[in-house]
Structure 1
Amino acid sequence: MTQELLAAVELILGRYAAQLPLTIPQIWYAAVADGVLVKQERTYRRLVDVLDMARRSGRISWLAIRDDTDPPVEPRTFDGPGGFHRAVADAARDYRLDRQAGQEARLEVWCRTPGLVPQLATVAAPWGVPVYAGAVFTGLSGKRDAARRAAAGGHDAVRVLVISDWDPARQHVFTALVDEVKAFAAVDAPEVRMDFERLAVTEQQIAELRLPAAPVRAADRRAFPGNAGTQAEALPPDALAAVVREAITRRLDAAVLEDVLAREEAERRALLNGLRLQRGL
C-alpha cells in the first residue's frame, strides 16, 4: 500500500511539475481528488509519514515539497573579490524595473497560506506583482504596512487579490481584514483607493472543480454565504496558477508594460556593457 501511495504521489508531482514545490496539503487534496486517499485526518498523517520516509531515502526530491513557512535570515558573504564581481554581474543580468509603473492601479496578491507563496510568486513575477502572506492577515503592523505601501506606490488605486480558505472563520477574517486595512489607508493613504477581491477559494470554484469540501458546522453562527468550506490548497496547483495569471493579465495595460520592459532591457544591456568595459580596463 505504501508503494502504491508513493507511485500516486510521484504522478501528482509530475502532473504539477510547473508549480513545484507543492505543499503537503496540496498533495493530499490531489490524492483525495484522484481517489487514492479518503478525506480523513488519519490519511493526511499517513501521507506526512510516507513523504518523510520518501524524502529521507531520496526517492522524492527535497525540492519538490515545501513544508516550511519561515524564511531564513542569513548573512550575505562572498568567497573573495572574484565572487563579489560575479555577484555584481548576476545582479546586472537580473536588473528589473518596477513593471507596474504607469499602470492605473497597483496589484498585490495576498495569500493566507505562506507555503503557497513560492508558487504564486513564480506566477506573478513576469508582471512585477508582489505576493504577501502572514502578517498582512494576522498582524496590525502588516496591515498598516499595506496602507503605507499604497501611499508610497505612486498609484491612484491598489487592488488586492486575495487567496484564502473558504469557510465562516476565513470569511470573517477577510471581512475584518478589508475593514482594518481601509481604516489604515484612510489615514496613511487618503488619496489612494484600495479594493479587495477574493480570487480563491470561491463557492463557484468548489462546484466547478468539484473540490473536496466539508459542511459548515450548524453551531457556527457567523454570517457565511455558503454551505460547505474547503482550504485554498484544495484548488489544484495548475488551476490556482491559472486563476492568478488571468486576474493579473486582465487588470494590467499590456502596452504600458511593453514600454517598461523595453526600457528595462535597454538599461540591462547598458549595465552589462559598462561592467565589461570596466573589467577590460
Structure 2
Amino acid sequence: MPNRRPRGYQPLWKPRARTRELLAAVDRVLARYAAQLPLTIRQVWYSLISDGVVVKEERSYKRLVEVLGMARRSGRIRWEALRDDTEIRAEPIAYAGPEDFRAALRQAALDFRLDRQAGQEVRLETWSETAGMVNQLVTVADPYGVPVYSGSGFNGLPAKRGAALRAAADGHRAVRIFVISDWDQSGVHLFSALAEDVTAFAGVDAPGTEIVFERLAVTEQQIADYQLPTAAPKTSDNRSFTGTSTTQAEALPPDVLAAVLRGAIEAHRDMDVLDELLEREEEQRRTLLHRLGFDAP
C-alpha cells in the first residue's frame, strides 16, 4: 500500500504477494456470487471469513477496505462489483435533442409494466437494515412487483408512517413485511420497534388492515445451518436480547439470502394470477409501442 493516501486512479499499483493472495480470494468470492453483484465490502469480508482466508477482526475488515479501494482505483477489480452506498444523487433530467428524447420515450414504453401485486390476497414489502444489500434484494423482488425499503428509514418516523399510508391507499388489503436485519440487540429492537410503530400508525390510518412482520434474516436457525461467523453481544447495550451471540445480516451468503427472499415471496403469491397479469402486461406494452409509432422488439 502507498505511504500517503491515494487519490484518483492508481494504474501503477503493484500489490505485494500477500495482498495478491487476498485479491485472488476476493476474485473467487465475486465469481461465486456473480448473480448477486454488487456485493457490499462486508459481504465479501464475511465470505472470506467463511473461506478461512481472514479472521473476524475489525483490523482485517479495515485492511480489506483499503485493499479493495486500491484494487478499484487500479482497475484490478471492477467498480461495479462492489457497492458502498455513501452517495446520494439528485440529477436533473435533460436530453441531447429530440432524437434522444424519442429514444428515451421508446425505452419508457419498453419498461411499461402493471402492478404485479394486483389480484393477490396479500401485498408484500421487503425492508433491509443494510442499504448496501438493496440492489441484490431488488433483483429478486422486482419481478414480483415487491418494493424494497432500506437503511436508516427503519428508525425514521416518515418511513414508518409511510408504510401505514401505503396500507390505507391499497384498500386495506392484508400486508406482509419481510424484514432483514442483524441478529443482535440493535437488530432485534429495530424489528420490534418497526412492527409496533407501523401497527400503531396503521391503527389510525388503515384501521382493520392486517399487517404482519416476518423476520427473514438473520435468524438463529440460519446461524446454525450456515455456521455464520458470530461475536459476543455488546455489553454496552442493555436492551433485552435472548441470543448468546450476534451476527450481521451481511454474514448470510448472498445466494442464500436471495433464495430465502424468493421462497418467502412465492409462498404468498398465486402464480397463476401473476402469469395472467404478465401476459396482459406484455400485450399492453406492444399496444403502447404501436400507438407511439415504435416497432415492438
SS in 2 for 1:53: helix
- Contact 2:45–2:64 (CA under 8 A) maintained in structure 1: yes
Q: After alignment, is 210-219 or 237-246 more displaced?
A: 210-219
Fraction of identical pairs, as percent: 60
Matching residue within 256, 269, 272 for 1:255? 272
Residue 158 (structure 1) shift:
0.7
Structure-2 residue corresponding to 1:195: 212
Structure 2 residue aligned with 1:227: 244
Name 1:130's counterpart in structure 2: 147
TM-score (norm 2): 0.91
SS of the residue corresponding to residue 228 of structure 1 reads: coil
Q: What residue in structure 2 maps to residue 267 of structure 1? A: 284
Pick the aligned partner of 1:28 from 45, 48, 65: 45
> What does residue 176 of structure 1 align with?
193
Deviation digits for residues 1-58 of structure 1 (CA, Å, limit 9, x no counterpart): 1000000001100110000000000000000000000000000000001001100000
Measure the CA separation in 1 of the matches of 2:111 and 2:227: 40
| Residues in 1 aligned to 2:186 and 2:209: alpha-carbon distance in whole angstroms | 29
Which residue is equivalent to 1:106?
Answer: 123
**Which residue in the other structure is 1:85 paired with?**
102
Tell me, yes or no, if the aligned pair for 2:167 and 2:206 is still in contact at 8 Å.
Answer: yes
Q: 1:61 deviation in Å?
A: 0.3
* 2:135 aligned residue (104, 118, 137): 118
Distance in 2 of aligned mates of 1:177 and 1:37: 35
The answer as to 2:84 corresponding to 1:53 is: no
Are residues 89 and 271 of structure 1, via their aligned partners in 2, closer, same or farther at CA, if it must alter by over 3 Å?
A: same
State yes or no: 1:244 paired with 2:258: no
Taking the aligned partners of 2:118 and 2:103, their CA distance within structure 1 comes to 29
Match of 1:12 in 2: 29
Q: Does 1:186 align with 2:195?
A: no
Match of 1:216 in 2: 233
Q: Deviations over 1:240-260 (max 9, x none)?
A: 101101100111111111121
Is 1:141 aligned with 2:124?
no
Question: Do the aligned partners of residues 170 and 277 (structure 1) sit closer, same or farther apart at CA in structure 2, a change above 3 Å counting?
Answer: closer
Contact 1:144-1:181 at 8 Å conserved across structures? yes
Calculate the TM-score normalised by the size of structure 1: 0.96
Is contact 2:106–2:294 with CA below 8 Å preserved after alignment? no
Determine the C-alpha separation between the residues in 2 that align with 1:138 and 1:222.
16
Task: Tell me if structure 2 keeps the 8 A contact 1:166–1:230.
Answer: yes
Q: Does the aligned pair in 2 maintain the 1:148–1:189 contact within 8 Å?
A: yes
**Is contact 2:129-2:152 (8 Å) kept?**
no
Q: Using the alignment, how far apart are the partners of 1:136 and 1:101 within structure 2?
A: 26
- Structure 1: runs of 5 or more not aligned: none
Could you list the per-position Cα deviations for residues 81-115 of structure 1 after superposition, in whole angstroms to 9, with x for gaps in the alignment? Answer: 10111111001111100000011010000000001
* Aligned residue identity for 1:79: A
Alignment-mate amino acid for residue 31 of structure 2: G
CA separation in 2, counterparts of 1:155 and 1:104?
A: 11
1:39 aligns with 2:39: no
Residue in structure 1 matched with residue 222 of structure 2 by the alignment? 205
Given the alignment of the two structures, is residue 164 of structure 1 paired with residue 181 of structure 2, yes or no? Answer: yes
Paired positions, count: 278
Shift of 1:275: 1.8
Structure having the higher helix fraction is 1
Whether contact under 8 Å (1:112, 1:133) holds in the other structure is yes
- The answer to which of 204-213 and 135-144 deviates more is 135-144
**C-alpha distance 6-101 of structure 1, shift in aligned 2 (>3 A):** same
